Chain A
């Protein structure tokens, strides 16, 4: 009896989790964000299909409305790849033991995330305030880094977990005096009277990184999957000076061209593969990931097994951060290098 149940459920489990072995059908998911709109364009313009055809595979591109849900789905094995930030890559799939590779380093936030105070112009004034933000997200990380920069710590403020969908409405209530959030919510909030952006991600450049993360095992067994995705990505990047393309992306993210341009201005996109490669190879990346790992451990989100911030190994071209025997997150520029060298 037990064996029958086991077989049934094992089959179910195998059927539902994406197979890591050699295969020719893949799926990736993404959610709406300025730096990930190119995936939508790549899908609807046929660029991704073109590259998949070239490598004789199929790639399904799925938009998921809820960012965290998209990462959870990837982590649970429903998708082979997913767009996410460096911090979430560490705390969700890597901390869940899903060995993941940052295949594409798309951009970093350069003012796209910010701390806003109502009626106060200096970050120091945040002391003793309630701060509304999405807890344990990059906003939280940005706040921690900001507080650090003015000699404060999280003990000096009261963090209130607030859903991103309701932040703008929340900000308009009198009880809310400070928020940390990302675009387009950020520009919506700063456009309100007496609102001052006192700290943003351009103060910590290169620390909030937007990635296309794929399952390491799947990538290893199917280099074609990585090649097709990277090839498609940089072809899309080459079209991003085209107004028509930008307008398409703007509309798909429910804004207009001007609004989308404004978001791009505070996002450091790596339009060329070579730039992305040199960013990945820089010594700043392991330093950033150390910060992120420390923040994550301090907030208890590196997993139950974590005894310190070095529990999970993070591999970068400049060396491994954390435990070398437990590497779960890898920054691997080799596919982007191929794109830079025109070898795809």
Chain B
């Protein structure tokens, strides 16, 4: 018998082991829901799959009778717009400031401590200041995402730039490159895959801040709906919304990963051969 640490499951077993926990969770949910509904058919805490699917149908495929809109898609569009805009701006800020900070000692001396401190301030604790500065509308929601994620990306980009071997930067200079050309031809392409990785890691925080922003003040959005229907404990709506957020988050993560592999094959091969 091999040691436990040396036993690799076959392809079949690997798939099987991946699926099993999900099946167990669904089965546990199903039977617990069943038990509660047997006691009280109107129980809302653990709705049955039929109730959930009718809630999905009502939210996603039926016009809302008051507004004539498809709430689910409207919420998704609003949230996706906010998170994509927020994370894109965050990534841009993180890249530019991180690059400058990492490459120019003069700027780093002035900005780096500020960024470090800013990244440690919990944005949720200074909400009133954010409201007064950015209002309560779309801008505020996007800003909350940016404030929550940009400092971390800046710090990561800065350290990634500083980890590029000095030899390369000197080499580029001996080939006649200016600071600008070193930046765009040597440093930028090398930290782009790192930027995508940093963005992937900050997606969790971005969703958290998005949902918090939508809970604070909103008229639409996935977080808005969850917090609104929570008021009458409509778990049949909340559960599919949570699942949908997970799907969206996974899709965003997956597409960033694919994008990185397609755009920067040299990076992924290099990482794989390390």
Contact = CB atoms under 8 A, between A and B. Distances in A.
Interface of A: 2, 5-6, 9-10, 12-14, 17, 68, 72, 75-77, 91-92, 95-98, 132, 134-137, 158-163, 166, 168-170, 172-176, 298, 300-301, 303-305
B45 A169 contact: no
B32 A9 contact: yes
A137 B127 contact: no
Given A9-B35, A303-B42, A161 B219 contact: yes
B136 interface: yes
B236 to A, nearest CB: 7
Nearest to A176: B136
12 contacts: A6-B34, A9-B28, A13-B35, A68-B230, A76-B233, A98-B40, A132-B217, A161-B218, A162-B136, A166-B127, A170-B216, A304-B51
Contacts of A6: 31, 34-35
A13 B32 contact: yes
B36 interface: yes
A301 B229 CA distance: 8
Nearest to A6: B31
Interface of B is mostly: helix
B31 A97 contact: no
Contact of B131 (A10, A158, A170): A170
Report the 5 A-B pairs with minimum CB-CB distance, sorted nearest first.
A97-B42, A169-B128, A9-B32, A162-B217, A96-B44
Nearest to A4: B31
B228 to A, nearest CB: 6
Interface core residue of A134, A168, A175 (most chain B CB under 10 Å): A175
Contacts of B66: 298, 300
A76 B45 contact: yes
A292 to B, nearest CB: 13
A168 B236 CA distance: 32
Which range holds the interface residue count of chain B?
35 or more
A136 B131 contact: no
B21 to A, nearest CB: 14
Given A169-B131, A304-B58, 13 more contacts: A6-B35, A91-B231, A97-B41, A132-B136, A132-B217, A134-B231, A160-B218, A160-B219, A161-B219, A163-B216, A173-B131, A173-B136, A303-B42
A158 B218 CA distance: 11
Contacts of A97: 40-44
Contacts of B228: 135-136, 161
Contacts of B54: 304
Interface in B40-60: 40-45, 51, 54-55, 58
B136 A161 contact: no
Contacts of B233: 72, 75-76, 92, 96
A300 to B, nearest CB: 7
Interface core residue of B45, B137, B218 (most chain A CB under 10 Å): B45
Contacts of B227: 161, 163
Given A161-B228, A176-B136, A12 B42 contact: no
B136 A170 contact: yes
B42 A305 contact: yes
B232 interface: yes
B225 to A, nearest CB: 10
B232 A304 contact: no
Contacts of B215: 163
A7 to B, nearest CB: 9
A162 to B, nearest CB: 4
Contacts of A91: 231-232
B27 interface: yes
Contacts of A136: 228, 231-232
Given A75-B45, A96-B44, A163 B217 contact: yes
Nearest to B65: A300
A160 B217 contact: yes
